[in-house]
Amino acid sequence: MTYTLKIQENDPPVTASKWQMMKPHFLYNFGRIITYTFLGEIFGLIGGTLGVIFAIRDFQGGLQLFAGLVMLLMGIELAGLIPTMSPDTFPGISGFKRLVTSMFNKVNRKNIFGLGLVLGFLPCGLVYAAGAKAAATQSFFGGMLTMLAFGLGTFPAMFISGMTAHLISSKLRHRLYKAAAFLVIILAVFTILRGIDSLGWVRFYWLF
């Protein structure tokens, strides 16, 4: 929503055609999804490397269980049920914030794709949750496809938010965020159950 308002300020469209209105949002989200896919490859490789290093029985089940617990924690945090950790506690975040601020101030219809690429690295509970799921695949392609699916799954909401930035109230945004947190928690529970099933502690034959 912020980049939408900035583009309207920095680079108003010459024509009011539908394509001119939609194009920046396609470019922004395309950049964001490319970054997510790249991160998925990294997460998948990390998970696979850990599996080879430890080479222990049922490592994938343990990794799924760990990923599910991370996702559950992130979902609970997104829901506002526990205090949110300040992102500034992580190294390099201050420099990243300065870069993002600079790009936001200069954003236009020509460089919006680059902004999407950079903001794909933005620290976010939803991205962390999807990254944990990608790592649990222990596969380059599995991680890539997991994060690609995550990016494509977030596209409709992100696209609509950009197109209707001036119409969405803060109250509605808050409700959508709560709904996202609820879905992350549900996915986390399924991931935890799959991990438990893989470890053989309890069999859940209804899981797919």
Is the pLDDT at 201 greater than 90, yes or no? Answer: no
pLDDT in tens, 48-63: 888 776 665 566 677 7
CA-nearest of 192, 203, 150 to 62 is 192
| Confidence label for 89 from pLDDT (cuts 50, 70 and 90) | low
Q: What is the structure's pLDDT at 195? A: 81
At residue 91, does pLDDT exceed 70? no
Residues in the chain: 208
| Percentages of the chain per state (helix, strand, coil), in multiples of 5 | 75, 0, 25
Q: Please give the DSSP secondary-structure letter assigned to residue 207.
A: -
Maximum Cα interatomic distance, the chain, rounded to a whole number of Å: 63
- Residue 79: CB atoms within 10 A of its CB come to 17
Cα angle 167, 148, 111 (rounded to 5 degrees) comes to 55
Whether the CB-CB separation of 68 and 129 falls below 8 Å is answered with no
Q: What is the pLDDT of residue 86?
A: 57
Under DSSP, is residue 189 helix (H, G, I), strand (E, B) or coil? helix
pTM of the model: 0.75
The pLDDT of residue 58: 62
